[in-house]
Structure 1
């Protein structure tokens, strides 16, 4: 079974460029470590989006996981990369990933028959 999640975090305007640089680093030079972390925690797909409305910004994340406890698994992952990743998110987005993520309730999940 595949579990699907969408969640978001506010992002201050002055941190947008830092976040874009972080996303680029995760997607390039640290991609192998990112992939290994996802394998450890049960994530099979992840997409990040930057949403802007007027002067407000939000990071939106879409995740597919083979394990319904991927968020808890992530909290408990203590690898050097996970520690770096959580520290960077905390620095840039002012959000503590060690506290866990409250997932929104899925209300519609349509797929072509």
Structure 2
């Protein structure tokens, strides 16, 4: 099982949109969100909004099959995934449909008791 820790920039003035996106994802769209997580083997996921002097960031952490999770987000053309990609693009400017050539974040410590 892998771990993903990622930081996504929130576009200027989109903090309330980020909150609304999270609320809808975990509210009205929660069944679709949970179905996606189950299909890709994600057992836990957190989103946090961090406001900094350099701008706001969406911190995303999840445990599961990282490659499978991002592959489904990038390629699944269902209504839910199309909506999800569009919201991420609007709020962060990150296009999940276009895989990045950048390496994923390097996990330096992953402690478990």
TM-score range, shorter chain: 0.7 to 0.9
Q: Can you give the 5+ residue segments of structure 2 that lack an aligned partner in the other structure? A: none
Mapped to 2, the partners of 1:56 and 1:109 lie a distance apart of 27
Tell me: CA distance 1:54–1:39, structure 2 relative to 1, closer, same or farther (3 Å): same
Instruction: Give distance in 2, aligned partners of 1:11 and 1:103.
Output: 19
Is the CA contact (8 Å cut-off) linking 2:45 and 2:62 kept in structure 1? yes
* TM-score of the two chains, using structure 2 as the length reference: 0.86
Length, aligned pairs only: 111
Contact map agreement 1:44 1:66 (CA 8 A) in 2: no
CA RMSD of aligned residues (A): 1.7
Q: Which residue of 1 aligns with 2:20?
A: 21
TM-score, normalised to structure 1, is 0.86
**Mapped pair 1:12 → 2:11:** yes
Alpha-carbon distance in 2 for matches of 1:41, 1:78: 15
